[in-house]
Amino acid sequence: MDNYEKITELGRRRGFMWPAFELYGGAAGFYDYGPLGATLKRRIEDTWRQFFVIQEGFAEIEAPTIGVEGIFQASGHLSGFSDPLTGCKECKEVYRADHLIKHIIEVPDALSNEEIYKVIQENEVACPECGGELSEVYEFNLMFKTMIGPGNKTQGYLRPETAQGMFINFPRLLRYFRDSLPFAAVQIGKSYRNEISPRQGVIRLREFTQAEAEIFIDPRDKTHPKFDQVKDISMKFYSQAAQEKGEPEEMTFGEAVGRGIVAHQTLAYYVARTYQFLLAVGVSPERLRFRQHKSDEMAHYAADCWDAEVLLDHLGWIEIVGVADRTDYDLKAHAAQSKVSLTVFVHYDQPVKRKKLVVKPDMKALGPRFKGQAKTVAEALKAMSVEDLKGDKIIVQVGGEPVEIDPSLVSYETVVEEIRGEEIVPHVIEPSFGIDRIVYTVMDHSFYEDVVDGEPRSVLKFNSKVAPVDVAILPLMDRDVLVKPSKAVLDGLRSRGIRVDYDTSGSIGRRYRRNDEVGTPYCVTIDYETLEQGTVTIRDRDSMKQVKLDAQRLIGVLEELLAGDRKFLDAGVPVVALAAKEQ
RNA sequence: GCGCUGAUAGUGUAGCGGUUAUCACUAGGCGUUGCCAACGCCUAAACUCGGGUUCGAAUCCCGAUCAGCGCACCA
């Protein structure tokens, strides 16, 4: 049994995660998070909010998970996200239909499915495996389709990424941020992809959670004001060059940008923030690297892209975050599709003065004369230069015919206008996090087993920032005299918002093990000394050491321990193992 | 989607034509136990689903679903 099996088994058994719909036979690619898993996931998302919403000042929004067709026409998901497939009627093998005719047609992408099938038939393309006949070409789109309202009139799709919700809200977000760059919006939510073959538990799901930030920046300046704060952090960079050698290179962010390994400061800054976030939730730096996309795997519009990859038991290196410079691709695509300009007006430091010719056709005279053509004539006149206008007669082309216009019908003047700025399309830096994969990674990287007094012990060494249970209250014995004060302690901690579990079942050692297995950082025992001297014992998950302290101080001390503001051995009087005391 | 392998209590498993469906752990109760998976007694809990073969199917056959692995896919 490898760790992967142990962790998935523990996840099922102790209430972290399991395949969904088990009661009805299940469906591949869907998972439930149980009581502990849902809390772990929520706390990881909350830590993400701490980093990106609170510390970076990004705006969190919530857009629908269903989108209308236009969005995905613009984003490319409707065309690019679907593949034409064909199958062999003999051996049932499935192929990309367009790939099979690459040698016949130069640009098979441009063909419809019917056309591809026609090419296959006319050229007698057969199954490359067995030579059998190929079936008709059908579309497999990775988006879930649905109807909006009755009557099949409006086609909707479940979003394949949360990003589009930020792009299409660009105009409102821009107003919200008072028309200036840079600004950013984030979304944490479900996305849906109808994967052909979901595998590996929570790693490849059909419904999954993303946390994405879209950071809109001025393309002319990709430095970052806070880059100094991260420039000395050192990390494993697995750049394109390093991948040639097969060995990641450890260096600081300052060096990575200086040597041109990361495209610019802003991208590097968010890679650094991603790195800090991952460490904060408990990803092991030894099993983490940032891999740069190779030029051939990078989306054609992306300027640079770095994936955070983690090493997982049994699964190998898995991508959990992508940080990309998507340039102006998305905003331009939506502007073209929606016919709405998605730009920011950027003010110049100094207004630029420029001479401009203003042509004023006399529409009162031109209108009756040209009727329906009048507008075309006026437009042609406005486009003319001074040279064209200052002669005795003016000739314009209307529908290919030269038409003479009397100069008295056209006035013009040269004015000096001040240009105070220009409309620019921002570039977008996108850190995109796969939350489900991060949740599993935190479990994998937190898991370890050791042997205590000849007995095995499994531990999830969760950071107290993300642990689903903060503290377990354990009466030493399940007796009324101990249960009553334990319940009082329980209520006291709960009223302070601490996540507390209460367990009286089985021996104290068994209960410690149970809590180790789900990663509870601290256990508090209530014993007979609590009754006599008013003390309680805190037991530390990682060292298994214990301290005794006055029960009055418990809440404050626990809060400090959980926040990382106090060392465990300073929390009270260290307890020597009881067995030793007896002797 | 294709191929191979598999599916039995909460978990891990035994059984491979006729069993009261095995065992361990876990869980619940009682007793005992004074700080790291102690012990005793008791209790609860399963053959993935649908067809077929057979007097009789957890067991054999077919199909579906799910899972693992390989192929393909992964904008």
CATH classification of the domain holding A128 = 3.30.40.230
The residues of A between 145 and 164 with beta carbon within 7 Å of nucleic strand B are 160-161
pLDDT at A105 (0 to 100): 66
- ipTM of predicted complex: 0.90
What is the average pLDDT score of chain A? 87
* Distance, Å, A128 CA → B71 C1': 14
Number of domains composing chain A: 4
Element (H, E) at A509: helix A508-517
SS3 A421: strand
Q: Would A336 be classed as within a structural domain?
A: no
Concatenated DSSP letters of A253-298: HHHHHHTTSSS-HHHHHHHHHHHHHHHHHT--GGGEEEEEPPTTTS
Which of A356, A388, A423 is a domain's end point?
A: A423
Residue A442 lies in a domain: no
CATH at A395: 3.30.720
CA of A90 to C1' of B8 (A): 37
Both A277 and A324 in one domain: the answer is yes
**pLDDT band at residue A169 using 50, 70 and 90 as cut-offs:** very high
Assigned domain for A303 exists:
yes
Q: Is residue A449 part of a domain?
A: no
Per-residue pLDDT, averaged over A372-382, amounts to 72
B strand bases under 7 Å from protein CB? 1-3, 10-12, 26-30, 32-39, 48-49, 65-75
Do A489 and A556 share a structural domain?
Answer: yes
The proportion of chain A whose per-residue pLDDT surpasses 70, expressed as a percent, equals 90
Q: Please give the average per-residue pLDDT across A102-124, as a whole number.
A: 70
Q: Which tens digit of pLDDT belongs to each residue from A321-340?
A: 999 999 999 999 999 999 99
Do A440 and A203 contact (CB within 8 A), yes or no?
yes
Residues A152 and A254 in one domain: yes
Output the CA torsion sign for A263, A266, A270, A275.
Answer: positive
Query: Under a CB-based contact definition with an 8 Å cutoff, are residues A457 and A448 in contact?
Result: no
Q: For residue A160, is pLDDT > 80?
A: yes
- If asked whether residues A23 and A123 sit together in one domain, one would say no
**A361 and A247 within one domain:** no
In the predicted model, is pLDDT for residue A256 greater than 60?
A: yes
What letter represents residue A97's amino acid? Answer: A
For residues A486 and A475, the answer to whether their CB atoms sit within 8 Å is yes
DSSP characters over A459-494: EE---TTT-S-SEEEEESSS-HHHHHHHHHHHHHHH
A243 and A163 in a common domain:
yes
Question: Of the candidates A61, A335, A301, A324, which has an alpha carbon nearest to the alpha carbon of residue A171?
Answer: A335
Does residue A453 belong to any structural domain of this protein? Answer: no
pLDDT tens track for A477-520: 988 889 989 999 999 999 999 999 999 998 999 999 999 999 99
CATH number at residue A25: 3.30.930.10
pLDDT digits (tens, 9 = 90+) for A266-323: 999 999 999 999 999 999 999 999 999 988 777 777 889 999 999 999 999 999 999 9
A26 CB inside 7 Å of strand B: yes
Are residues A571 and A529 both part of a single domain? yes
Taking 70 as the threshold, does the pLDDT of residue A582 lie above it? no
Number of H helices, E strands in chain A: 21, 29
Are A116 and A230 in a shared domain?
no
| A53 CA to B12 C1' distance (Å) | 44
A65 and A165 co-located in one domain = yes
Report pLDDT digits (tens) over A88-101: 666 566 667 777 77
Domain that holds residue A369: 348-423
Residues (236-265, chain A) with CB within 7 Å of strand B atoms:
none
What CATH number is given to the structural domain containing A485?
3.40.50.800
Residues A160 and A266 in one domain: yes
In this complex, the nucleotide whose C1' atom is nearest to the CA atom of residue A529 is: B34
Query: A153 Cβ partners below 8 Å, 6+ apart?
Result: none
List the A37 CA – B51 C1' distance (angstroms).
Answer: 39
Q: Cβ within 7 Å of strand B: which of A 541-580? A: 544-546, 575, 577-579
B5 C1' to A490 CA distance, Å: 50
Q: For residue A182, is the peptide bond before it cis, meaning its omega torsion is within 30 degrees of 0?
A: yes
**For residue A541, what pLDDT is reported?**
96
More confident residue, A471 or A404: A471
A443 belongs to a structural domain: no
Residues 293-352 of A with CB under 7 A from strand B: 299, 314
pLDDT at residue A233 in the model = 96
Assign A137 a pLDDT band (cuts: 50, 70, 90): confident
User: In the listed set A141, A162, A183, which residue is the last one of a domain according to the structure?
Assistant: A141
Task: Report pLDDT for A108.
Answer: 56
- The answer to whether residue A155 is domain-embedded is yes
A362 within domain boundaries: yes
| Among the ranges given (A106-110, A114-118, A228-232, A240-244), the one the predictor scored with the smallest mean pLDDT | A106-110
Q: Are the C-beta atoms of residues A427 and A327 closer than 8 Å to each other?
A: yes
Please name the residue that has the structure tokens 């830590």. A47
Assess contact for A500 and A473: CB atoms under 8 A.
yes
Measure the CA–CA gap between A439 and A424, rounded to whole angstroms: 39
How many angstroms is C1' of B61 away from CA of A271? 57
> Are A368 and A416 members of one domain?
yes
The C-alpha angle A541, A543, A548, rounded to 5 degrees, equals 80
Whether residue A58 is found in the same domain as residue A181: yes
* Three-class secondary structure of residue A237 per DSSP: strand
Which nucleotide's C1' sits nearest to the alpha carbon of A8? B11
